[in-house]
Amino acid sequence: MTSMASLLSTYTTFTAAAMLLRTVLNEARSLINQFIPQYVQERIWSKIGRIFGNRHSSSHVTLIMDEYDNYITNQFYEASEIYLRAKVSPSVTKLKVFQAPDDKNLSVTIKNGEKFTEVFQGIQLQWESFCIEKNRNEYYDRGGEIKSIELSFPRKNMDKILSSYLPYVLERSKAIRKENRVLKLHSYNGSWESTNLDHPSTFETLAMDSKLKEDLINDLDRFVKRSQFYRRVGKAWKRGYLLYGPPGTGKSSLIAAMANYLKFDIYDLELTSLHSNYELRRLLVSTKNQSILVIEDIDCSVALQDRRSGGCGQGNSQLTLSGFLNFIDGLWSSCGNERIIVFTTNHKDKLDPALLRPGRMDVHIHMSYCNPCGFKTLASNYLDVSNHKLFPEIEKLLMEVEVTPAEIAEEFMKSEDADVALEGLVEFLRRVKMVRNGSDGREGKEVYEHGKESPEIVESEKKISPEIVTRNVLNLQ
């Protein structure tokens, strides 16, 4: 009969042998990884797996995701890496922590050689990351590291992994990437120049009619979800917004809020800096998906309008309104996805009808003077008050005079003390009301600055912009 001691010693010998074998296998693996192409490796491992019954056995399948394949980035490697970054399981003992200079968030991911297990719909899965140091002039001449990630699971679950799990990993990684994305502001100056978009405006901080805000958010949500819809109906996946209203009502702030909400980059384009349709085509084609193309003060793109009406006669190379509009409707929009284009103007009535015709801009948003609802948003943001004894009076005054959110914000900046700031605002509103009531004889005229240097008075059925009126009053003093 076998004694306990001999059983133990047999077991110990067996364990030591198994450990030795594992070490040899690991060494062999690292050598193989260095010198043998991936597809050959797979065959070797499947053979070894069959012999030793490890996770490479025929009952399991391992999917190998290399970072590059012939210098082409493997998007699934990237997706898996991002997915794993968000995963920390009890089975992991070492984690890698990283924070890029621009990044707000820490990234924590499994370290090279670590395994991560998870269960998906009852299927046990194992992820493992590898990184092999390479010297230049070896098999690959890239030098540096070769990274890959492997995913192993029971062979019988192959269909489910391919049809459900991998798409799930892709979806998750897309969402994570979006959450952590550092937004860029690209400005055109012969070529696109980028800086980080660090604009604090969000839909929460934006003073805007609450129903309009809600409708706009729903519109954006619907837009980003509808890739299949756009494909089905044969429409380019893009959406155009025209924001119009007096200066200081939050048009630019709204664009920043949209970008922050969607996590889209902004491309800020000054049309007057362009010289030809060709240049326009080139710069538009070089913009990325999931972005907002912004053209501010479209009515001030005088050059564009002059050229259109004046017919400068330099053929297709000249930048024309029709060239521009063709781009919006045509080539550019069909080769990109998830594009938003925003025009802003202070004077909707001055826009070329071609820009306004139905179907050109999908949504027209009027950014208007501050109403009581917008005022409350600003009071809450700037002063952290949601109610105050002066609120009724201020709300009443706001129904009588037109002031921009920018002006109210400016008043609120004057004091951190809510009482003082709100009293200051009451004073300001009374002053504007007095001026509006005709003491300077300008009632019924709209006074706008068109361009910064040449103030211009435009007869219009609209009311006086109090911002300018106030400035005039101050100037007179």
Ligand X SMILES: Nc1ncnc2c1ncn2[C@@H]1O[C@H](COP(=O)(O)OP(=O)(O)OP(=O)(O)O)[C@@H](O)[C@H]1O
Which residue, 169 or 365, has its beta carbon nearer to ligand X? 365
Start-to-end C-alpha separation, the chain: 114
Q: How far is the CB of 465 from ligand X (least distance, A)?
A: 11
Angle subtended at Cα 241 by Cα 228 and Cα 103, rounded to the nearest 5 degrees: 75
In the complex with Mg ion, the residue whose CB is nearer, 128 or 297, is 297
Q: What is the DSSP letter of 467?
A: H
What tokens were used for 461?
């059925």
Window of 203-211, 261-269, 270-278, 420-428 that interacts with ligand X by CB under 6 A: 203-211
Q: State which residue, 247 or 372, has the beta carbon closest to ligand X.
A: 247
Q: Pick what 247 binds: ligand X, Mg ion, none; C-beta below 5 to 8 Å, kind-dependent.
A: ligand X
Q: Does 406 bind ligand X (CB under 6 A)?
A: yes
The SS3 call for residue 23 is: helix
Return the number of the residue (61 or 262) whose C-beta is nearest ligand X.
262
H/E segment holding residue 277? helix 277-285
Q: Which of residues 244-273 bind Mg ion (CB under 5 A)?
A: 251-252
Question: To the nearest whole angstrom, how small is the minimum distance from the Cβ of residue 257 to Mg ion?
Answer: 13
79 or 408: CB nearest ligand X: 408
Binding to ligand X (CB under 6 A) within 321-360 occurs at 346
Instruction: Quote the least distance from Cβ 319 to ligand X, whole Å.
Output: 23
Task: List, in order, residues 6 or more apart from 321 with CB less than 8 Å away.
Answer: 304, 305, 307, 308, 352, 354, 355
Nearest residue to ligand X, scored by beta-carbon proximity: 250
Rounded distance between C-alpha atoms, residue 393 and residue 344, angstroms: 33
Residue 404 binds Mg ion, judged by CB under 5 A: no
Helix axes of 418-434 and 405-412: crossing angle, nearest 10 degrees: 140
Residue 333 is a binding residue for Mg ion (CB under 5 A): no
CB of 187 to Mg ion, least distance (A): 14
Q: Which of 110, 207, 269, 341 binds ligand X (CB under 6 A)?
A: 207
Using rule CB under 6 A, residue 208 touches ligand X = yes
Q: In the complex, what is the shortest distance from the CB of residue 449 to ligand X, in angstroms, rounded to a whole number?
A: 9
Decide if 464 contacts 403 (C-beta within 8 A).
Answer: no
Q: Which does 405 bind (CB under 5 to 8 A by kind): ligand X, Mg ion, none?
A: ligand X
| Pairing label, strands 144-154, 60-66 | antiparallel
Chosen residue from 81, 237, 250, 376 binding ligand X by CB under 6 A: 250
**Residue 252 touches ligand X, criterion: CB under 6 A:** yes
* Residue 206 in the binding site for ligand X (CB under 6 A): yes
Cβ closest to ligand X, residue 48 vs residue 373: 373
Interaction between residue 346 and Mg ion (CB under 5 A) = no
Compute the distance between CA of residue 4 and CA of residue 10 in angstroms, rounded to an integer. 10
**Residues near 329 by beta carbon (within 8 Å), at least 6 away in sequence:** 360
Radius of gyration of the chain (CA): 32
If one asks whether residue 247 binds ligand X (CB under 6 A), the answer comes out as: yes
Q: Could you tell me if 36 and 130 are in contact, meaning their C-beta atoms sit under 8 angstroms apart?
A: no
Q: Does 251 bind ligand X (CB under 6 A)?
A: yes
Structure tokens at 60: 């399991």
User: What residue has token string 């839909």?
Assistant: 203
In a 10 Å sphere around its CB, with 0-12 CB exposed, 13-18 middle and 19+ buried, how is residue 213 labelled?
buried
Residues in contact with ligand X by the rule CB under 6 A: 205-208, 247-253, 346, 367, 405-406, 409
Q: List residues near Mg ion by CB under 5 A.
A: 251-252
